[in-house]
A and B are shown apart, each in its own frame.
Chain A
Amino acid sequence: MVIADPPLMDSSAPELAGTPPPPAPAERSVVAQIEHLDFFYGTTQALKDVTLDLESRKVTAFIGPSGCGKSTLLRCLNRMNDLIEGARVAGGTVRIHGTNIYDRTVDVIEVRKRVGMVFQKSNPFPKSIYENITYGLRLHGRRDKSRLDAIVEQALRGAALWDEVKDRLHQSGLGLSGGQQQRLCIARAIAVEPEIILMDEPCSALDPVATAKIEELIQELRARFTIVIVTHNMQQAARVSDRTAFFYLGSLVEYADTRDIFTNPAKPQTEAYVSGRFG
């Protein structure tokens, strides 16, 4: 297993969440560290000894054939797997800014506030566009109307949706097209200002034009957020990501700069997959 980036985490990982990220070489600051993670659905092992770092303000793509555990790993990052009965972390840690989010003392709600998520199928609430975006903020006690208005505009602009919906903020979010709905979901996620945004195949249900818009958006968002994207589409991974991790049967096979994965993979399995010979 090749880890392109030699570990630099243990030396400086802070113990408390919220403390500033460790001082690291300028362009390689680590937000999250996954170490020796073993994950089970009942008796089936879905992840085997996965170790991987997520870098701040970079787009990391998880690729691999179906059932390789890439979505599972993504959902480990905000503990969405807690919802599945029988799912459990059997070993290893997931640290975000040094805090193991599977620690007993960690509040799962706090984790999810700081790690947002966009799903495969767009899922705006059956409420107005405005309410969709303010939902997360209201949960966390924001009530100030003018402040909320400002955040809604900011989030919609951030998701490149403002111009399309500014005149119908109070109409149902379900009345938007598929691509718009997905961007609304992104706007909803960024409105609560998370540090990491997880995207679980965000374009798999969209047409090419809508896909292109989302990809463009991801490029803009990387300046402000750390993004992890799971995708089946290798061209997409090549287009949008800085780093790519290739999984196979629950194991991390290779993790390197995207350019290297696609042009000069270290493992034959990776090469076989990215060149389309299997998977």
Chain B
Amino acid sequence: MIPPTVAAPPRFTVSRRRLRLLGLTADDGIRWFFGGNALIAVIVLTLITLFLFREGAGFFGQNRSNLEIYRRAGLEYVDFIRAQTDDHTALTRYLSDLRVRWMTWLLEQERHSLEEANARLEDFDRFADRFAGAVDPLRELMSGLADHASGIKAKYQLTQDRRVEQAQLAAAGRTAEAAGIEISAIDFERELEPLRESLPTYRQLSRDLAGELTALLAEAPAPPTPALRQRMDRFAELTREYVAGFPAVEHRLETWDSAQPVPAHRAFTSFLFGRQWLTASSWQDWYGIVPLFVGSLLVAALALLLAVPLGVGAAIYVSQLASSREQRLIKPCIEFISAIPSVVLGFFGIVILGETLRQLSQVSWLSWLPGFPYSERLNILTAGSLLALVAVPTIFTLAEDALNNVPRGFKEASLALGASQLQTVLKIIVPASLSGIVSAVLLGFGRVIGETMIVLLCAGNRIEIPDFTRGVAVVTEPVHTMTGIIAQEMGEVVRDSIHYRALFMVGLVLFLLALVINYAAQKIMRRYRLSTG
């Protein structure tokens, strides 16, 4: 059908004026709106990073001066001697452990009454008392020196405070008042003289101690059973090693130089590898991240150990084996777990799970399990089990996506070759989605290492490296975590103090850890996309 009149072809001119606001059309406005939103995410991330670094960076300078005063005021010197007496205390503890075993043997194997058993152990007790008492003179010397060193440190801090006050007054323009503040410079060398003068006394005491311990070992009572004898031998060996270490201590004290500057890297290494996190101490504060890091890692590892089989198994079932009715039931259930506020989970952990697990650990026929029975209700086990609940939805959802992304053709081809459903899942579908599953696990790990509330409530919050010599039983020990310490201590620190900055450094470590985990997960995910193309 041909139109009766041929119309002129339309021309490509702007026929309609667009509404402009500040020189932008509506399209531009929408574009800028979306672009702006995306930009905000980038800006926020950058700001957070910068802020963390800015607040954290000051830590190293402060930590260095912290270590500097530790040395200059002689605290380090005293701690050399303290380490020596502490080692002796450990030996005494070994002895009392031996006594408990001996006692048990007497009561249970020999069927002695308590009085009899105590009588039989009289020799041993006399020996143990003399052993424990041998260190007393040295300890006395040490505590006297410690008081003196603390005094120097307090004096130094006082002058520091005065300096700050003076600077503040000067800044406020009150020069007269500022000049009125009396600041006496501390002559560390002179102050430290009593410490140095104590060296001959120390030498004498240390040698006396060595002599006495060696003499004592010769008259150590012989235990009645081979097992106990073996322990006694081990004790003697440990004591000899201990005594052999004395000259090294002495050498350290002799060569100690308070004026020697603390190397810059110590500020760094004492944080990263420091085994003590000790704050608001009257002696010396330590900011070592190791106990917190280990705590976080142990809790997260246990959580993953429980969550990976659960999450991946459920994902395999739901995506491959379940009927659609089961899918409709299971998926929302698992995903709903992540909707439970973690503080509720933590509360549940304290009141129900922790208590139940502890009671379970005291059931006699479960005592073969490592670490059972235990008495600490809040520990790695409680926190880890609950954290597993947090990780399961993350792992489940991502692993299920990965499994569903396996092309349908693989499954059909495998089934058409006469594979059973299970063979298909295990030999084709899981291997094809393995990288997706691995990245799901990594993101689950990131999720649990960053979780705060549950670990704060359930991990027991003891700042100490757990005793790994106990093997698997380590999970029954309480720990503190990186996230927990920030939540717990950030509220009470003085702004800009070293403690405040140390917490920021912990936050920075967490942040970097999360960054690395997410990056790795994305890398693996991308490789996976390519491999199944």
A residues neighboring B (CB under 8 Å): 78, 80, 83, 85, 109-110, 112-113, 116-117, 119, 121, 123-127, 135-136, 139-140, 174, 185, 188-189, 192
> For the complex, is B415 an interface residue (Cβ under 8 Å from A)?
yes
Taking a contact as CB atoms under 8 Å apart, the answer to whether A139 and B407 are in contact is no
Contact A135:B414 (CB < 8 A) given known A126-B432, A174-B533:
yes
Q: Please state if A125 and B410 are interface contacts (CB–CB under 8 Å).
A: yes
Q: Which residue of A78, A113, A185 contacts B413 across the interface (Cβ within 8 Å)? A: A185
The answer, yes or no, to whether B416 is at the interface (CB within 8 Å) is yes
Interface string of B411-434 (1 = CB under 8 A from A): 111111111100100011001100
A166 to B220, CA, bound (A): 79
A110 to B: closest C-beta gap in Å = 7
A117 to B416, CA, bound (A): 6
A112/B413 in contact, CB under 8 A: no
Q: A139-B423, A174-B533 are in contact. Are A123 and B418 (CB under 8 A)?
A: no
The answer to the question of B323 belonging to the interface, with a C-beta cut-off of 8 Å to chain A, is yes
The verdict on B532 contacting chain A, using a C-beta distance below 8 Å, is: yes
Residues A139 and B417 in contact, CB atoms below 8 Å apart: yes
A126/B532 in contact, CB under 8 A: yes
Contact of B416 among A80, A121, A140, A174 (CB under 8 A): A80
B410, B418, B419 pick with most chain A CB within 10 angstroms: B418
Give the 10 A-B residue pairs with the shortest CB-CB distance, closest first.
Answer: A123-B409, A113-B418, A136-B417, A117-B416, A112-B418, A123-B413, A109-B418, A139-B419, A126-B432, A112-B416
Whether, in the assembled complex, B531 has its beta carbon less than 8 Å from a beta carbon of chain A, the answer is yes
Contacts of A185 in B (CB 8 A): 413
In the complex, B324 has a CB within 8 A of chain A:
yes
Min CB distance B144 to A, Å, is 74
The docked-state distance in angstroms from the alpha carbon of A78 to that of B450 is: 51
Is B413 within 8 A of A80, CB to CB? no
Which residues from chain A contact B416 at a C-beta distance below 8 Å? Answer: 78, 80, 112, 116-117, 119, 189
Interface contact B323-A125, CB-CB below 8 Å: no
Q: Which residues of B contact A124 (CB under 8 A)?
A: 413
CB of B407 within 8 A of CB of A123, answer: yes
- Is A121's CB under 8 angstroms from B409's CB? yes
Contact A136 B418 (CB under 8 A): yes
A112, B415: Cβ atoms closer than 8 Å: yes
Task: With both chains docked as a complex, state the minimum distance between the C-beta of B326 and any C-beta of chain A, in angstroms.
Answer: 12
Taking CB as reference atom, which chain A residue is nearest B417? A136
Select which of B323, B417, B423, B531 is within 8 A of A116 by beta carbon. Answer: B417
Nearest chain B CB to A252 CB, angstrom units? 24
- A135 vs B410: C-alpha distance in the bound complex, in angstroms? 12
A195 to chain B, nearest CB (A): 13
Least CB distance, B429 to chain A, in whole angstroms = 10
Residue of B nearest to A117 (CB): B416
Q: B419 to A125, Cβ gap below 8 A? A: no
Q: Can you list 15 residue pairs at the A/B interface with Cβ under 8 Å?
A: A78-B416, A83-B411, A109-B418, A109-B419, A110-B418, A116-B417, A117-B416, A119-B409, A119-B416, A123-B410, A125-B432, A127-B431, A139-B417, A139-B423, A139-B427
